Amino acid sequence: MRRLLAALVAQGVRTRRYRRVNAAQAAAVVLGLLDGVALQLTFDPKAFSVSAAARFCEEALERYLAR
């Protein structure tokens, strides 16, 4: 999974959609974010909805990779 994410990030960097980042490190950040949010939902399913979690992750990643 990390390799696939790294390839997607690298493609985004090449096409100038994303800022220059280390693709392998960015993939680890993406997985860490997703794992962390999934754990929060597992331990406290009433903390926020799955759709809210998806929006949060999308916004966080957009900010992290933004040019």
- Segments in the chain forming alpha helices (H): 2-14, 23-43, 50-65
* Contact predicate 2/27, CB 8 Å: yes
Q: Supply angle C-alpha 29, 31, 32, rounded to 5.
A: 60
Q: How far apart are CA 10 and CA 20, in angstroms?
A: 9
Question: Can you list the residues of the chain whose pLDDT is less than 50?
Answer: none
